[in-house]
Amino acid sequence: MIEVKQISSKKDIKKFVQFQLELYKNNPYYIPPIVKDEMANFDPEKNQVFKNADCWLFLAYKNGQIVGRIAGIINYIEINDQKKPKMRYGWLDMIDDIEVTKALINAVEKIGHKKNLEFIEGPVGFSNMDKAGMLVEGFEELGTMITWYNHPYYMEHMEALGFKKSADWIEFKFTPPNPVPEKFNKFADIIMQRYGLKPLEFKSTKDILPYVDEMFELLNKTYSSLVTYVPIQQYQIDLYKEKYLPFINPDFIKCVVDSNGKLVAFAITMPSFSKALQKAKGKLLPFGFIHLLRAKRKNNRAAFYLIGIDPEYQGKGVTALIFRNVAKTFMDNGITFCETNPELEDNIAVQSLWKNYDPVLHKRRRLYRKDLVR
């Protein structure tokens, strides 16, 4: 018999977080999160997203053993401002037993019914800045610190339970150019002169801070038209400053400003922390942080995490300035492998950014949706 329990204590939330680490303990493609940071996601005193969201956590038990977990989430900005009557689900993990999956989903669906919502959709987090999407292609590709990993049977369970594709995110891998092609350099110079643009370089985290809020404002402009997008709030910006800036090598952030110093485009790339997080095994202490520091300083893998381009400058070649400087940084730091952040498959504007690098689509993630039948 399967028993699903709603949890709230710190002790149970730790079990909730660690279940995934146990489920994928020997998987060479899974990237464990830092347990302490993951637990903070569900603490209203540490995660201000709870100002505009509610969350319910559930663990599934079978014969006294934990066999699954799920989070049910309501984002009130999405419901009240965007008029999307959606029940979110995320952090879904379970053994290969469809009855476990069914029981977990049912627990979340009951909340959706109680709140008079019209459909359930996921896996997603609280907002667009959280992990999202169920892996449906690329099971033998190394994961990243900002994506979930799952076994192929997850999608089989969802489809058997009546869930349908709502959207797909895709990810590409490619080899950065070395050296930067001369025609690329010339084109970047032409665009810079034509629009009076100037690239910015950063030498320290302190140099970046004055531009962080502008970057997120630009993200809101860049992606506001996408169907799954929920505007980023200031408290989320503050949280991500604290959470991710320590991981960022300032040389890996590239910005472009206009003649008035206004930010018009940026890219945040980072050395890959995937292998370092595998070695850390969910803990910063006593030695986990050492692996992360080493990955930050010496690495041959990198990833594009965030890209924002003012709609006024989209399609005008501005990205040439960004990528010229990114390519130079990758060359200087010995980066020979790069991959992109998940991007919606219909986001042609972003996908066009990689077309000159012979990209290979190597992962696909799916957003699953089902109507809440009354």
Task: Tell whether the model's pLDDT for residue 212 goes beyond 80.
Answer: yes
Helical spans, DSSP H, in the chain: 10-23, 35-40, 76, 98-114, 153-160, 182-195, 205-223, 234-244, 274-280, 288-297, 319-332, 348-351
Mean pLDDT of the chain: 90
- Rounded to an integer, the average pLDDT of 9-26 is 97
In this prediction, residue 280 carries a pLDDT of 94
Task: Tell whether the model's pLDDT for residue 18 goes beyond 80.
Answer: yes
Binned at pLDDT 50, 70 and 90, residue 227 comes out as low
What is the per-residue pLDDT across 249-263, written as a single tens digit (0 to 9) for each? 888 899 999 999 999
Binned at pLDDT 50, 70 and 90, residue 79 comes out as very high
Please report the domains of the chain, with CATH numbers, ordered by start residue.
Answer: 2-161 (3.40.630.30), 176-357 (3.40.630.30)
Distance CA 277, CA 296 (A): 12
Distance CA 159, CA 126 (A): 23
The residues with which 123 forms a beta bridge, in sequence order, are none
What are φ and ψ of residue 26, in 5° steps?
-105, 15
In this prediction, residue 98 carries a pLDDT of 98
Distance CA 186, CA 29 (A): 40
In this prediction, residue 225 carries a pLDDT of 63
Q: How many CB atoms lie within 10 A of CB 358?
A: 10
In this prediction, residue 176 carries a pLDDT of 87
Burial label for 342, CB within 10 Å (0-12, 13-18, 19+), is buried
User: How much of the chain, in percent, has pLDDT values that exceed 90?
Assistant: 58
In this prediction, residue 177 carries a pLDDT of 82
On whether the CB atoms of residues 305 and 269 are closer than 8 A, the answer is yes
Cis peptide before 85 (omega within 30 of 0): no
Cis peptide before 181 (omega within 30 of 0): no
- Rounded to an integer, the average pLDDT of 318-323 is 84
Binned at pLDDT 50, 70 and 90, residue 334 comes out as very high
Higher pLDDT, 304 or 100: 100
In this prediction, residue 157 carries a pLDDT of 98
What is the per-residue pLDDT across 44-76, written as a single tens digit (0 to 9) for each? 998 888 999 999 999 999 999 999 999 999 999
In this prediction, residue 352 carries a pLDDT of 75
Q: What is the pTM of this model?
A: 0.90
Task: Tell whether the model's pLDDT for residue 159 goes beyond 70.
Answer: yes
* Residues contacting 52, CB < 8 A, separation 6+: 75, 76, 77, 233
Higher pLDDT, 124 or 184: 124
